[in-house]
Amino acid sequence: GMERRRAPAANRRYRQRRFWDALYRQEGAEPREWLGGLSRFLPQLEAELRPGDRILVLGCGNSALSHDLHELGYTDVTSIDFSPACIAAMRARYARCPGLRWAVMDIRALTFPDAAFDVVLEKGTLDVLMVEETDPWDVSPQAAATMHRVLAEVSRVLRPGGCFISITFAQPHFRKPHYAQEAFGWSLRHAVCGDGDGGAFHYFIYVMRKGQPLDAPDLALGRRLHQPP
């Protein structure tokens, strides 16, 4: 069969802890926003959030997102990242915000109990799972399996009625099949966001609501993902 094309080796570094640790040590905790700041998608986000929500931010990096949420009155925010250097920097930067909690954790194996959160939020973190994929029409079984593992963990730590919000560059055609798995027990919808200054730059917000059913077309998309070719 045809050799699967390899992504540039440079992409691989995004999956390596030492790359991130070095980056965070070098930058300190200067905010770096991979998909723009909170103001861009706040209207969509606020529609899903309640002030008392227990919020988990996956792969926080040195984004100001968790702190911005806290400043808006969402004071129960737990942020995780697999880079100890990152978490140490964030803990120090926001030491005066006791409502913000920080933990070093692997998103594939969360150590939280079941139903511990009302909201799980990620911005560009799941994209890192796909950086080595060169063909979005033909995702490697490894990438699909890793994505499935992470999403199963997200579903597990969400309470019934809670929601998972994913902010990403990934178009629905390519990302929906991963999210539209019956096993996760959630519904799925998405919105498109522009960059607000007339450019052609778009990203997508996916909202998955635990305990609600998937639409038939999404269900069909999801079923095709794990079928053997």
In a domain, 1, yes or no: no
In a domain, 53, yes or no: yes
pLDDT at site 80: 97
How many structural domains does the chain have?
Answer: 1
Q: Which two tokens stand for residue 139?
A: 């995702």
In a domain, 2, yes or no: no
Tell me the pLDDT tens digit for each residue of 71-80: 889 999 999 9
In a domain, 52, yes or no: yes
User: CATH number for the domain including 161?
Assistant: 3.40.50.150
In a domain, 132, yes or no: yes
Tell me the pLDDT tens digit for each residue of 152-186: 999 999 999 999 999 998 989 889 999 999 999 99
Domain range spanning residue 186? 11-225
Tell me the pLDDT tens digit for each residue of 91-140: 999 999 988 999 999 999 999 999 999 999 999 899 888 877 778 778 88
In a domain, 115, yes or no: yes
In a domain, 138, yes or no: yes
Tell me the pLDDT tens digit for each residue of 184-203: 999 999 998 865 555 556 78
2: left (phi over 0), alpha (psi -120 to 50) or beta: beta
> Which residue has better confidence, 209 or 4?
209
In a domain, 43, yes or no: yes
Question: Tokens 């990096």 sit at which residue?
Answer: 61
Nearest alpha carbon to residue 25 among 37, 17, 33: 17
CA distance 74 to 52: 7
Q: pTM of the full predicted structure? A: 0.84
